[in-house]
Amino acid sequence: MLRNCEDATARSGDLTIAMIGWLLFTQTCGMILSDVMSDAYCCELSQAYETTASTGGIQALAYGCRFFAAILGACGGTFLYNKTDWGWGLDFWMVCLICAVFQCIAFPMLVFLEEERASSKAPAESIPAQIQMIWQTVQLRAVWQPLLYIYFYNVMQVPNVAWNSFLLKGLEFSALELGALHIGGSILSFLGLIVYRNFLFDMSWRLIYLITTLLSLVFSCLQLLLIYRVNKEAGISDFLFSFGDNLFAAFVNGVQFLPTVIMMLALCPDQQEGATFAMFTTFSNIAGVIGGVIGNAAGQIWDVSNAAMLAQNFSGMAYLTILKSCLQVFPILFVCFLPDSRESHEAMAKSGEKSRFFGGLFIVLMVCSLSLAVGNAVYELH
């Protein structure tokens, strides 16, 4: 990121990190808008053409295409942005231009997008009616119980905010090596999605979360071997050792992705797919942002600065890794709050059990989390 900022600044003469942040914010807003629309479209198709047993297949196909495209993008970014190391390649602004051009290429594809709106059968609900429908939905135990657990789980997946600095400054990874890690992560995320869809689709959701979390703990703790340079004593290079850890983490994320999507799909009321699914995914994703805020705060406890990395002082990295590993495994103590399968979740939904208190807690958490995330971003930019 530092090299990116330097290239961009050299190109414009006065582009600051804060300006880059606001540009990325605007880009992300557009990406999220398109993401919500695609999710809503897949949700409509799922409700129209999928049975309960096959729910999630269309979403798996859509995200499989996205993850595969991410692999191509990671490869392009890695091999095109290496002028410093290879003597040839593109500048940062050129890479950004290519990304923008690809967005324009997608416009003609819109002619192939067809959507049979529910309004052709019934009039669209007004905004107040949609809000009321959402409020009724979040009061259902089948909604707030699994989503509150997923929120708690995602919050506890606190990232090691100094890890990239450790690789870049402490272990002196090149841009090509960092890009290779990203390529590997994209590939394994895609494979994780495929493995779940084809081999684990009927497996207990609780068991999936339990096994993947415990395995993540093992691989997270293996980072300590890299930090304390044990791998060097064993004759394993830093890149190969970190590559394995990075790949497994991405694979776990791919495996855990679809069970969450299937739960959300089953809860979207007819004609409210876009608003409801957007709210569910926002609630799940914003938890990861809050986890990042916690990670930033944890990074202030010990010295994990660039100066410490350059001085080969990795003690702060070790303590931070231990802390985030303990936090990441903690949610499995409450995995019983997660439905065990599609069938048990469907039975919970059919019971119609409601709670105004937990429905209100759901809304309060969402509003507070969004406010904290936006406030923290603005604070960091300025």
Strand partners, 140: 354
Burial call 297-336: b when 16+ CB within 10 Å, e when fewer: ebbeebbbeeebbeeeebebbebbbebbbebbbebbeebe
Q: What is the CATH number of the domain that holds 352?
A: 1.20.1250
Q: What is the mean pLDDT of residues 9-13?
A: 46
For 116, counting Cβ atoms within 10 Å of its Cβ (0-12 exposed, 13-18 middle, 19+ buried), the class is exposed
- Asked if residue 100 is part of any domain, the answer here is yes
pLDDT value of position 4: 44
Residue listed under structure tokens 């890149």: 239
Residue at 11: amino acid letter: R
Q: Where are the alpha helices (DSSP H) in 13-171?
A: 17-49, 57-80, 83-86, 92-105, 127-138, 141-156, 163-165
CB 71 within 8 A of CB 293: no
Q: Which of 142, 166, 146, 143 is nearest to 154 (CA)?
A: 146
3-class DSSP assignment, residue 147: helix
pLDDT value of position 320: 92
Give this prediction's pTM: 0.81
Question: 354: which 2 tokens?
Answer: 């409601």
CB 73 within 8 A of CB 190: no
Q: Where are the alpha helices (DSSP H) in the chain?
A: 2-12, 17-49, 57-80, 83-86, 92-105, 127-138, 141-156, 163-165, 175-199, 205-227, 230-233, 238-266, 273-298, 306-310, 315-329, 342-351, 356-381
Residue at 125: amino acid letter: E
- Asked if residue 119 is part of any domain, the answer here is no
- Asked if residue 252 is part of any domain, the answer here is yes
- Asked if residue 42 is part of any domain, the answer here is yes
- Model confidence at 53, pLDDT cuts 50, 70, 90, reads low
Domain range for 142: 2-113+127-381
- Asked if residue 363 is part of any domain, the answer here is yes
117-166 tens-digit pLDDT: 554 555 556 778 778 888 888 899 988 999 999 999 999 988 888 888 89
- Asked if residue 118 is part of any domain, the answer here is no
Mean pLDDT (the chain, rounded): 81
- Asked if residue 207 is part of any domain, the answer here is yes
3-class DSSP assignment, residue 354: strand
Query: Is pLDDT above 90 for 360?
Result: yes
For 219, counting Cβ atoms within 10 Å of its Cβ (0-12 exposed, 13-18 middle, 19+ buried), the class is middle
CB 220 within 8 A of CB 324: yes
Count: domains in the chain: 1
- Asked if residue 122 is part of any domain, the answer here is no
Q: Rounded to an integer, what distance in angstroms lies between the CA atom of residue 216 and that of residue 199?
A: 20
Strand partners, 354: 140
pLDDT value of position 302: 92
pLDDT value of position 333: 93
